[in-house]
Structure 1
Amino acid sequence: MKAALLQMTSGIDHAANAAVLVDAVAKAADAGAAMLFTPEMSGLLDRDRARAAASIVAEPDDRVLAAVREAAARHGLWVNLGSLAVRHGDRLANRGFVIDDAGAIRARYDKLHLFDVDLPPSREGGGESWRESAAYTAGKAAVVVETPIGRLGLSICYDLRFPDLYRALSDAGATVLAIPAAFTRPTGAAHWEVLLRARAIEAGAFVLAAAQTGRHADGRETWGHSLAIDPWGDVLLDMGDAAGLAMVEFDMGRLADVRARIPALRHRRPVPAVTRA
């Protein structure tokens, strides 16, 4: 099985971001990938909310989404479009999409956990404040979808820190977990790889995590290091900090082998109420 991961430095120009995505669809299809994975906020990354608001539209009017759907159909490739900012009532949603090889949307997922944090200064950067909930509404449901590479469980960025979500996805039969992201440099340096490997091990699943990287037009910096990880926690691909497209091959037989060796999914039990001693 072969998948493609796109590592981007998305900016504030929708058209430029769409062109990168469309080109990646063509190249991934030419390389024989069954599916392409793109980062969180593939269509627009802009911390200036007043400026960004003028460009964010409802899903049916989103030109980036339309361009990726058309490219997927033209090249016969499934795509996990990591996420786009879309209008959702009087607020916004951070929404991921699974698009099939005919350009149809097979699944949508709105990010459940919103990034509201204050990062202290550190040697990796920081001193930043983020309030995703000021503009975005949280999703209401976890999502699993059948794809050519297996049953895919969807999540986005900050969701990575909440293992209960991945337990629910693996309980629903997910064998591959998509974790598109735009991790900051300080949190990426500290936690990105270790959390991704933990989610793969706990769920006994492959993890495909396409990420944003580098310095963006809005001034932010993201960590990069898009990763593919197998169910044992071994890193199959690390894209470093350069933007670009990479291919990863993985054997679904590895999934059965790992789950047989460590049958933790079969041993799961409901957690009883906590007793205070």
Structure 2
Amino acid sequence: MKVAALQMVSTPDVAENLEVAWQLLQQARAAGAELAALPEYFCAMGRRDTDKLGYMEAFGQGPIQDFLARAARELDLWIVGGTLPLEADDPEHVRNSTLVFSPGGECVARYDKIHLFRYDNGRERYDEAQVIAAGQTPVRLDITDRSGEHWRLGLSICYDLRFPELYRAHAQRGCDLLLVPSAFTHTTGQAHWEVLLRA
């Protein structure tokens, strides 16, 4: 199965980002991809963490999810929808969620990021828990490619990469492919991204 890992520099403009994502998904399909994975917050990268609240959608409805469903259906692709902010249990928080859509346009899996990023080096400070509610449940799903071969996917998001127990559980349950849509900071990305992926 050919997989496309799509890269974007997302802006605060959702419509603009969805147009870029559509072009990349079309290119992936034209190149023979059967599964295309978008990055974390492909739909919008706000200027402040609280901007996520303005992009939030209820699970199962909203322009970002409608876009992913339509793109999967029209392009006949499995699409891993990077991440998008979905409603949490209170209006001050969102879930950072990966949704997987089948070539039929159905949402077949949802994973809410479990491990939340917190970092303070005296110059830069991040604390996702201020706006994001952590998920609790690892998610795996089985898909079938065009040749009829079955694949088991293990879902994760960005900072999860630092917690080997999640990936050990995915491996023990027979995952063939681990997905890690990410938007690392410049500082931590330079220091850790590549070595963590190798690990």
Superposition pairs of residues 127-146 of structure 1, within 5 angstroms? 127-146=123-142
* Partner residue, 1:4: 4
140-149 or 101-110, larger mean C-alpha shift: 140-149
Relative to the length of structure 2, the TM-score reads: 0.91
* Partner residue, 2:152: 151
Q: CA deviation at 1:2?
A: 1.2
Give the 3 Å change call, closer, same or farther, for CA 50–191 of structure 1 in structure 2: closer
- Report which of the two structures shows the higher radius of gyration computed on alpha carbons: 1
- Aligned-residue Cα RMSD (Å) equals 1.4
Unmatched tracts of structure 1, length 5 or more: 121-126, 199-277
Aligned length: 192
* Partner residue, 1:115: 117
Does the residue aligned with 1:192 lie in a helix, a strand or coil? helix
Superposition pairs of residues 260-275 of structure 1, within 5 angstroms? none
1:157 and 1:183 in contact (8 A); partners too: yes
Distance 1:82 1:141 in 2: 18
Does the residue aligned with 1:98 lie in a helix, a strand or coil? strand
Distance 2:131 2:7 in 1: 25
Q: CA deviation at 1:135?
A: 1.1
* Partner residue, 1:43: 43
Q: CA deviation at 1:51?
A: 4.1
* Partner residue, 2:195: 194
* Partner residue, 2:65: 65
2:152 and 2:176 in contact (8 A); partners too: yes
2:53 and 2:85 in contact (8 A); partners too: no
Give the 3 Å change call, closer, same or farther, for CA 105–160 of structure 1 in structure 2: same
* Partner residue, 1:178: 179
* Partner residue, 2:148: none
Query: Letter of the aligned partner of 1:166 in structure 2?
Result: Y
137-146 or 58-67, larger mean C-alpha shift: 58-67
* Partner residue, 1:209: none
Distance 1:47 1:146 in 2: 36
Superposition pairs of residues 155-174 of structure 1, within 5 angstroms? 155-174=156-175
Q: CA deviation at 1:50?
A: 4.4
**Structure with greater strand percent:** 1
Relative to the length of structure 1, the TM-score reads: 0.66
Percentage of matched positions with identical amino acids: 40
Q: CA deviation at 1:53?
A: 2.3
